[in-house]
């Protein structure tokens, strides 16, 4: 695992928590921010995954 994979997974988890918290308190703004953070984390994790594949070749 590399840095991008770890940080991406953490951002995804944090985004999910933020989104669910927004749902609980009725904050659309927090829900949107949480969803965006999840996407950002997914992209970063995918970059890390790609780096790992390329490193193995």
What are the φ/ψ torsions at residue 56 (nearest 5 degrees)?
-75, -10
pLDDT of residue 56: 83
Rounded to two decimals, the pTM is 0.90
Other C-beta atoms within 10 Å of 48: how many? Answer: 19
Residues 6+ apart with CB under 8 A from 20: 34
The pLDDT of residue 3 is: 97
Q: Where along the chain do its domains lie?
A: 3-55
- Cβ-based burial of 56 (10 A; exposed 0-12, middle 13-18, buried ≥19): exposed
Each of the 57 residues of the chain gets a pLDDT tens digit; together they read 999 999 999 999 999 999 999 999 999 999 999 999 999 999 999 999 999 999 987
Could you give the CA distance from residue 20 to residue 5 in angstroms, rounded to a whole number?
Answer: 23
Look at residue 15 in the predicted model and tell me its pLDDT.
Answer: 98
């Amino acid at each position: 695992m590399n840095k991008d994979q770890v940080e991406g997974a953490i951002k995804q988890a944090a985004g999910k928590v933020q989104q669910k918290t927004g749902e609980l308190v009725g904050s659309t703004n927090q829900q949107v921010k949480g969803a965006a953070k999840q996407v950002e984390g997914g992209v970063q994790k995918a970059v890390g995954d790609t780096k790992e594949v390329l490193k193995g070749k």
